[in-house]
Amino acid sequence: MKIFVVNSGSSSLKYQLLDMDNGAVMATGLVERIGDAMGKVSQKSWPGTEREAEVEREVAFPDHRAAMHTVVDLVTGADTGVIASSAEINAIGHRVVQGGETLFKSTLIDDDVVEKIRENCHLSPLHNPANLVGIEVARELFAGVPQVAVFDTEFHQTMPAEAFMYPIPYELYEELKIRRYGFHGTSHRYVAQQAAAMLGKAEDEVNLVTLHLGNGCSMAAVRGGKCIDTSMGLTPLAGVMMGTRSGDIDPAILPFLMKEKGLSMDEVDSILNKQSGLKGICGMNDMRDIHSAAEKGDKKAALAVDMFVYRIKKYIGAYYAVTGPLDALVFTAGIGENDEIVRARVCANLEHLGISIDTARNAGRKKIATAVQADGSKVAILVIPTNEELAIAKATLSVLK
């Protein structure tokens, strides 16, 4: 069973071809700058094996259709290919960011589902339209191949109303569906399942706080294997501090900024999404650069890390209060998997909560799932590399079954 996973962005297309019979990644690639005068496609076939091969090409992609054609050529090509023809692809799994309240679990795509994804576009104007383009092109190119939509919001659908409702007039929820949806759900679910396996418990028995810390950052409170709260909200702007997004701030800062600086709504939106977070404080959003600047005495870089860590700690406290006895903290994504400094500082001085990290075990980047808590720590501390493509492929497979 070969599953093609597609993550279509506004100007990019990420893909992976997986052989689900043995879990092997056959090819993984990225098309960038779709719609620009010149774009780029890069593909790795059989990554991490002796057969690994890489190809990179500068090509202009006028649209997603052109991008998808090139991708099909690459995965089937005589010199770059991993399959003889696209007919070998049994199913396609699409990442869709926002399922809203009408699409709450992975589902086989038909015209009705496409329409519902379209209806949810106003909730995720940056992502859903781009996801839809990928779906439409793939349905055209792979007519007859079953296609499945897997939603970022899916894992969070189990949140109770007290967690997903905002304390604003109820009619706004009814009219506009303004509520907490949460994102990165595929990643939170994947690491929660892996964590249960590592702990030797059933999936519905674990209480966890999962920390997806990449450029975008979110956390989830998991009780009995189900998400009961998450830090992102109606949009991915809410929650912990991120690379360029502010995370939680006093909402009155928006009108204040508009009034004091004469900014438009779009300008304020852009400040909070693109010029805030780590970047807003110290001018950098890659944690590696920030650490090295802080080491050289850059005070703003040091402050950015202090704030980043402090805000995560507060969420751990809040979520610990609602998960019940905690089995594990689970770190994942770029920073969570690779940054021993952030992990150590997030877990520092939490011994009173039964959380105690082991310096030696925590050291270094983690390419495989690793337990890093100290002996005697009541709560396990797990670093689990996320794998959203595999999770989407698995979800696709289970829909087909």
**Among 174, 193, 182, 169, which Cα is nearest to 228's?**
182
Please state, in angstroms and rounded to a whole number, the distance separating the CA atoms of residues 110 and 115.
9
55 to 27, 60, 127: CA distances (angstroms): 11, 16, 28
Between 239 and 334, whose beta carbon lies closer to ligand ADP?
Answer: 334
CB of 368 to ligand ADP, least distance (A): 15
Between 134 and 214, whose beta carbon lies closer to ligand ADP?
Answer: 214
Q: Is residue 128 involved in binding ligand ADP (CB under 6 A)? A: no
Residue appearing with tokens 């304390």: 167
CB of 291 to ligand ADP, least distance (A): 7
CB of 214 to ligand ADP, least distance (A): 2
Segment near ligand ADP (CB under 6 A); pick from 72-80, 151-159, 214-222, 316-324: 214-222
CB of 282 to ligand ADP, least distance (A): 12
Q: Is residue 387 involved in binding ligand ADP (CB under 6 A)? A: no
Q: Binding ligand ADP by CB under 6 A: which of 214, 225, 233, 280?
A: 214
Question: Which residues sit opposite 54 in a β-bridge?
Answer: 44
- Judged by CB under 6 A, the chain residues 284 through 343 that form the site for ligand ADP are 286-288, 333-335, 338-339
Please state, in angstroms and rounded to a whole number, the distance separating the CA atoms of residues 345 and 287.
14
As given in the structure block, the two tokens for residue 360 are 């030696």
**Among 289, 273, 270, which Cα is nearest to 339's?**
289
CB of 370 to ligand ADP, least distance (A): 15
Handedness of CA 272, 278, 281, 283 (dihedral sign): negative
Please work out, in degrees rounded to the nearest 5, the angle formed at the alpha carbon of residue 53 by the alpha carbons of 140 and 3: 35
What residue number has its CB nearest to ligand ADP? 334
Segment near ligand ADP (CB under 6 A); pick from 46-54, 153-161, 211-219, 267-275: 211-219
Segment near ligand ADP (CB under 6 A); pick from 52-60, 159-167, 190-198, 283-291: 283-291
Size of the site for ligand ADP (CB under 6 A): 13
Q: Is residue 357 involved in binding ligand ADP (CB under 6 A)? A: no
Strand, helix or coil at 94?
strand
Between 80 and 215, whose beta carbon lies closer to ligand ADP?
Answer: 215
Q: Binding ligand ADP by CB under 6 A: which of 11, 90, 215, 275?
A: 215
Q: Is residue 216 involved in binding ligand ADP (CB under 6 A)? A: yes
Between 292 and 398, whose beta carbon lies closer to ligand ADP?
Answer: 292
Between 106 and 332, whose beta carbon lies closer to ligand ADP?
Answer: 332
User: Could you tell me if 7 and 390 are in contact, meaning their C-beta atoms sit under 8 angstroms apart?
Assistant: no
Q: Binding ligand ADP by CB under 6 A: which of 57, 299, 314, 365?
A: 365
Q: Is residue 90 involved in binding ligand ADP (CB under 6 A)? A: no
Q: Is residue 243 involved in binding ligand ADP (CB under 6 A)? A: yes
Cβ contacts of residue 232 below 8 Å, gap of 6+? 180, 181, 182, 183, 184, 218, 238, 239
Q: Is residue 16 involved in binding ligand ADP (CB under 6 A)? A: no
CB of 87 to ligand ADP, least distance (A): 32
Cβ contacts of residue 375 below 8 Å, gap of 6+? 358
15 to 35, 190, 391: CA distances (angstroms): 18, 18, 13
CB of 15 to ligand ADP, least distance (A): 15
Known active-site residue 73: no
User: Could you tell me if 229 and 319 are in contact, meaning their C-beta atoms sit under 8 angstroms apart?
Assistant: yes
Among 73, 110, 111, 152, the active-site one is 152
Residue 59, H or E segment: strand 53-59
CB of 216 to ligand ADP, least distance (A): 4
Crossing angle of helices 253-261 and 265-274, rounded to 10°: 120
* φ, ψ of residue 143 in degrees (nearest 5): -60, 135
Judging by beta carbons within 10 Å of its beta carbon (0-12, 13-18, 19+), is residue 376 exposed, middle or buried? exposed
N-terminal to C-terminal alpha carbon distance within the chain: 12
Catalytic positions are 152
Name the residues that contact ligand ADP, by CB under 6 A: 214-216, 243, 286-288, 333-335, 338-339, 365
